[in-house]
Structure 1
Amino acid sequence: TAPAVSAMARLNLTQTIQTGVIGSEDGSLEYAKRPDWFKKWETTGVLRHNDKNNDGRIQYYNDKNENFNQQSASFGWKGNELEHIPFGKKEKDAKNGPDNDFLVLANPEIANLPGWVVALVVAGGLAAALSTAAGLLLAISSAISHDLLKGIIKPSISEKQELNASRLAMVGAIIVAGYFGLNPPDFAAGTVAIAFGLAASSIFPVLMMGIFSKKMNRQGAIAGMIAGMGITLLYVFQHKGILFISSTSFLGNMEPNWFLGITPNAFGAIGALVNFAVAFAVSKTSDEAPKEVQDLVENIRIPSND
């Protein structure tokens, strides 16, 4: 659904801006005649016009396409003129192209749909975000208070202490989420890709080996998770900056610096391979998993008839 909506949104925006034959004198929309929705969204900073060739019209195209740049130059175009200002930034920090989230939220207005459709889109987005956030907060707080604190670090804590730890963990998770909300590592899809990459480099290999290998032990699982997540975070941080602060990046988020051409958002696959390798090696050189654990794995794979 999301890819289809984003594709339709970009098509609607393109058709609104490109009113005639590409490259013709009157083929692009005059800025003075921009629609009302354009004016409204301009006030938010997620969309703005930078008239690079001073023709009073809006040129919206992929100015990174070398094959088209020669042709666009013959039209008198000097680059894509739609920009956006990232949240919390100033005009000098404007980035090329409209904000990706804007394309989805403004799609009903661009398509001239009634206001209640816009409200439905916003309500749906908020509902999805809140439901997902609530589930993740519960999972994080339970994992820290019950699985980590009570299960490993301090099994003797009372239920009240466990509950308080859960609340503190939830507050900490909200603070971290708030920070990344104000300083997003990427647009929505990119952020999700990074999150799934971290999950793939840490949890996925351990789950797979825990089910299909009776020899996997605690030492191997922990070492694999640390190695997989560590190398993934190292790669992401050196390109996107430590804690996604761009000024602290070592190599910059530029394609020539990518390892084997792999984007930072997709490096979780490499982290998963490292996780598999390290976990397997450590489990082979350390004590086997307890017999009851091996029996449990065998019972999961081949349930008994009892």
Structure 2
Amino acid sequence: MTIRKNQKTIDEIKEKVLNNIRSFGFIVKRNENLGKTIYSIDNDRIFVDIIYASLNNREEYFFGIEQEQFEKMYEKTRNFFQIFVCENEKQAFIIPLSFMIEILKDVKATDHTSFRQWKPIIKVKNGLYVLRLFGHYNITDYLNRYDYLATDEKELGLLKTLDIRYTPEIRIQRAEEEYKNIAEENDLNKESIHSTTIDMLKNIGKWNGFNVLTESKPLRMDNSPYNIDCLWYKGDDLYLAIEVCDKGNVEKDKDALKLAKSFGARKVIIVSNINKLERIRKIFMFNGEIKFWTEVWSFERVFKMYKLGKEFFENFEKFKTYNWNENLMEYL
């Protein structure tokens, strides 16, 4: 069983993680004004908090996140990532702020003499990395996701050389690769990640009882200048308007969703890559009412919802259907 490493070794492992970031052209500097584990990337464009844990005798990685430091970062910027380093530099989980908020929400930090900490635990379960705090979160897909820190095509090109594995047998798929497999397995449009994602959203809406329009103007709004990627209706009521933004113009998507909200949409959603979040936040920052009704979903999160939803509704459809059968029906 692994014994906790001394501070010098831990610092060396963290430095290797930082060197992984630097090797793709990022400028990394420590920012002790914000916290002892906080680093800025490219002149404060992005901030990361790097924390480390060794494997303990229960085969878990036990972390501490200081509440005051985290809240200080939240007040300063939304371009922030929590990096959990498990045992060595080859196991670095890069978690966006939005997911961290979801994890920490409603969790009371543990009191210490001079500070308060949240105490998340990461454990390998059935080949997956699971973070446990108040709930259980599968974080496997966040392993070594240095691409989340990239914001332009040049940086993304450099990051393609990064070898990402979480077991010797299984390779993590990026969204651009994963959609092809999902499309093939589920007979979805295979033309692009954009068209495949629209197909997924259409099916998810139909499974939930919505009438779905794709790449269409809202009903009775023929004069609208925008076709919207996905519209979910209940009768004549527009519930959701969704734009899939992979390589397109975020400003155009914002304007289309703003118009959809004025047509009565209960909520509007942008599906995009995590590394576009900074741009999306800036565009919506000064756009008044629309930002309060907008959500950003990553491709990975939509893909996960589609796969889990398909499995659920295939069984639920059988479960809710009733008809006379000559023999006892069994679903085992």
| TM-score clears 0.5 | no
Q: Which has the larger radius of gyration?
A: 1
More helix by share: 1
Give the TM-score normalised by the residue count of structure 1: 0.29
Give the TM-score normalised by the residue count of structure 2: 0.27
Higher relative contact order (CA 8 A, sep 6+): 1
